[in-house]
């Protein structure tokens, strides 16, 4: 009879131990699950942090590239500024050449091409234009600009003029006067000249140009852009 209570007690203790063990495993699983969730969250945060760091690094690299480009641009601008200042100094200290001359009265017609001599001097800085020969002689090697205008009012005839460098024709502008009115032609050109080169205007054979004192319908002009 004494064995029954002992057996019953043993069974009760075994059940309690089983319940205790079961409760512990459940708590552990819950804690493990929470821990896994926390670890996963940390991994996501680490991934986002790495992505943010990469983005920041890319922006820093881009900023560095922009800084390098800005520095290069500033250096290039400084170089051009220095060259411009040098050219300004050369031009300020170099020769000054400019002229504008005009015809007076009627010139032509001639049975051969003829040099136009412009007797009325409006400007002749540097005295490079010769009023007796009609020649402009380059005092220094450089780049020059020349312009001319011609006019005639004779109906039914050609008018115009040609610009020559030394003995070579550079420009020829002509017009046919269809009505009894003033007919004009003009042109301009930039030429590279060596010291001593000559530029002048010529009237083609059987052509005529007309001017009146003070009107300046027929002008020949030029000036030095820069010496070389």
Q: How far apart are CA 124 and CA 99, in angstroms?
A: 4
Predicted local distance difference test score (pLDDT) of residue 121: 94
pLDDT digits (tens, 9 = 90+) for 107-138: 777 888 899 999 999 999 999 999 999 999 99
pLDDT digits (tens, 9 = 90+) for 175-224: 766 666 667 788 999 999 999 999 999 998 888 787 776 778 888 999 99
SS (H, E, C) the chain: CCHHHHHHHHHHHHHHHHHHHHHHHHHHHHHHHHHHHHHHHHHHHHHHHHHHHHHHHHHHHHHHHHHHHHHHHHHHHHHHHHHHHHHHHHHHHCCCCEEEEECCCEECCCCCCEECCCCEEEEEECCCECCCCCCEECCCCEEEEEEEEEEECCCCCEEEEEEEECCEEEEEEEEECCCCCCEEEEEEEEEEECCCCEEEEEECCCCCEECCCCCCCCEEEEEEEEEC
Top-confidence residue, 114 or 156: 114
Residue 43 has pLDDT above 90, yes or no: no
* pLDDT band with cut points at 50, 70 and 90 for residue 14: low
The pTM (predicted TM-score) of the whole model is: 0.58
CB-CB contact of 155 with 178 (8 Å): yes
Residue 22 has pLDDT above 60, yes or no: no
Minimal CA–CA distance to 148: which of 133, 162, 135, 137? Answer: 162
Predicted local distance difference test score (pLDDT) of residue 155: 65
* pLDDT band with cut points at 50, 70 and 90 for residue 89: low
pLDDT digits (tens, 9 = 90+) for 55-83: 878 887 877 878 888 888 888 888 888 88
Predicted local distance difference test score (pLDDT) of residue 201: 93
Average pLDDT, the chain: 81
Residue 17 has pLDDT above 60, yes or no: no
CATH 1.10.3720.10 describes domain 98-227:
no
Predicted local distance difference test score (pLDDT) of residue 132: 95
Whole-number Cα distances in Å, 86 to 10, 74, 94: 112, 18, 12
Predicted local distance difference test score (pLDDT) of residue 8: 45
Top-confidence residue, 86 or 72: 72
What ranges do the domains of the chain cover?
A: 1-93, 98-227
Top-confidence residue, 165 or 42: 165
């Amino acid at each position: 009879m004494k064995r029954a209570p002992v057996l019953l007690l043993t069974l009760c203790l075994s059940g309690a131990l089983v319940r205790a063990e079961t409760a512990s495993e459940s708590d552990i699983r819950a804690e493990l699950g929470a821990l896994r969730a926390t670890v996963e969250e940390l991994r996501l945060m680490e991934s986002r942090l790495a992505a943010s760091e990469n983005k920041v690094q890319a922006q820093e690299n881009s900023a560095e590239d922009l800084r390098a480009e800005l520095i290069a641009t500033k250096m290039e601008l400084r170089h051009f500024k220095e060259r411009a200042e040098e050219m300004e100094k050369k031009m300020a200290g170099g020769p000054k050449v400019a002229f504008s001359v005009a015809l007076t009265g009627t010139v032509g017609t001639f049975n051969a091409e003829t040099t136009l001599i412009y007797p009325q001097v409006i400007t002749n800085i540097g005295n490079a234009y010769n009023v007796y020969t009609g020649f402009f002689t380059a005092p220094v090697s450089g780049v020059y600009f020349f312009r001319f205008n011609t006019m005639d009012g004779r109906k039914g005839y050609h008018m115009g003029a040609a610009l020559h460098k030394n003995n070579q024709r550079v420009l020829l502008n002509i017009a046919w006067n269809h009505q009894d009115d003033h007919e004009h032609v003009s042109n301009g050109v930039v030429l590279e000249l060596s010291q001593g080169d000559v530029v002048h205007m010529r009237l083609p054979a059987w052509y005529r140009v007309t001017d009146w004192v003070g009107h300046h319908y027929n002008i020949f002009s030029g000036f030095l852009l820069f010496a070389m």
